[in-house]
Chains A and B, each alone.
Chain A
Amino acid sequence: MSSVRVLVGTRKGAFILTSDGTRKKWDISGPHFAGWEIYHLKGSSVDPNRIYASQSSSWFGQIMQRSDDGGKSWHQPGTPAGEPTTAADGTPKGESNKFVYDTSAETGKPLTTHQWYDGTPHPWVFKRVWHLEPSLSDPDTVYAGVEDAALFRSDDGGKSWQELSGLRGHGTGAAWQPGAGGMCLHTILLDPSNSQRIVIAISSAGAFRSDDGGNTWKPINRGLHSLYIPDPTAEIGHCVHRIAMSPLRPNVLFMQKHWDVMRSDDAGDSWHEISGNLPTDFGFVIDVHAHEPETIYVVPIKSDSEHFPPDGKLRVYRSRAGGNDWQALTNGLPQSDCYVNVLRDAMALDSLDKCGVYFGTTGGQGYASADAGDS
């Protein structure tokens, strides 16, 4: 019998929802890390018992958590529970929440500032981890997208972290600016067909790609058109909200931008709009069906100033044509007086025969569909 696990991060802690393949009855564990904001948690596809979680607090900063038993127990990787917290020589063991930007001379040009909201130079200051992406081949390797925007990697199960500084240092970093939510690196896509290819996205700098395992990077924003920046077709500065990829066809990328739903058929080298008949093309989430690489999902939000569904109706839109032709999915969702938002990492799909679709709202509600969104 197949089973499903849904990992839920909230501002009140983390929850783990499990069900059998029918997905009718769910067991819920949690809250884990009660009282802390959980920006993201994700399991390793190589070892599903390995889960990484980003635990954050305005008071006490960033904590990394790891589970090796599917979420039954957790520990900070640098300080395993029950083990001595110092090494034999008395020095503390690694700190798993230490994210230090690379300013070494070897990088050639240590980057010290980005643009602040008012356009003035602002130093890079680590705030939190927005997204964790475990490697597709090694459960001890995991990538972290952080605010202020940078990409880090751990090769020791999250005990210690090193920046892939070629991203900030590739040339445009000094011109990046934060969006309203902060300058976060929120999307990390690992290409299953090419271990050297990584696609990331930053609000509000845009999308970037590495074809050499993260050493060197280039912007991939050609075709994006953003009326809210001085040059609507600039190389960087686009507020990309999320990018999704089907592992079945990794060269095709789908993007929910601040406004516009976009598609690339060449791994981001060029983009075209696929908003089509959506009631609004503003939104945060976008995801791809597990078995049908032309079937995609978004949740339209009214506008950048009114973060709730149009007409107070919570609707998932599905396109089976890879965009442009969209169908509203409303069965089981509130269709009046619903004024919530669905943020960028708040949707997930499972890989069962009949694909499950899951999303959560800023109101704290979670919705699940066991029939690809039909109900």
Chain B
Amino acid sequence: MIRVTLPAHLCKLAQVDGEVQLEVAGQATQRRVLDALESRYPMLRGTIRDHVTHKRRAFVRFFACGQDLSHEPPDALLPDAIATGAEPFMIIGAIAGG
């Protein structure tokens, strides 16, 4: 079971509280986690990555286990702690304000 945390606006859209848990087939990669997230919550399609190109939106970043994974290849394996559910895969919006 993969744990994913969402920014507040996306929690509202998906009608969830904070963290979601997803079954991901095969080894855990960024693409598989996002595919599973968007399949379970299709209202999030287009909000994290582009509908067609699947490119990450500019003001969205991915973190896990204290690392910035935003620029990792989408098919790279995620850390074991993510795959086992020990740590969440964090989807974070850029800080607004000053």
Give the B-binding residues of A (Cβ under 8 A). 35-36, 57-63, 76, 78-79, 81, 85-86, 90, 92-93, 95, 97-98, 100
Contacts and interface: CB of A to CB of B under 8 A. Distances in A.
A79 B45 CA distance: 11
A282 to B, nearest CB: 31
B54 interface: no
Contacts of A58: 59
B2 to A, nearest CB: 18
A100 B52 contact: yes
Contacts of A59: 7, 9, 57, 59-60, 93-94, 96
A35 B38 contact: no
A95 B7 CA distance: 20
A125 B59 CA distance: 16
Contacts of B52: 100
Contacts of B45: 92, 95, 97-98
The B interface is mostly helix, strand or loop, or mixed, namely loop
Contact of A60 (B15, B38, B41, B60): B60
B52 to A, nearest CB: 6
Interface residues of B, number: 24
B38 A92 contact: yes
A86 B43 contact: no
A85 B43 CA distance: 8
Contacts of A35: 8-9
Given A60-B7, A95-B45, 7 more contacts: A57-B9, A59-B94, A61-B57, A76-B43, A78-B42, A86-B39, A95-B51
B40 interface: yes
B4 interface: no
A28 B53 CA distance: 41
Contacts of B46: 61-62, 95, 97-98
> What are the 7 closest A-B residue pairs judged by CB atoms, nearest first?
A92-B42, A60-B47, A59-B59, A79-B43, A59-B93, A95-B45, A97-B46
Interface in B1-22: 7-10, 13, 15
Contacts of B57: 59-61
B90 interface: no
B48 interface: yes
27 contacts: A35-B9, A59-B59, A59-B60, A60-B7, A60-B9, A60-B10, A60-B57, A60-B60, A61-B47, A62-B46, A63-B13, A63-B43, A63-B47, A76-B13, A76-B43, A78-B42, A78-B43, A81-B15, A86-B39, A86-B40, A86-B42, A92-B38, A95-B42, A95-B45, A97-B47, A98-B46, A100-B52
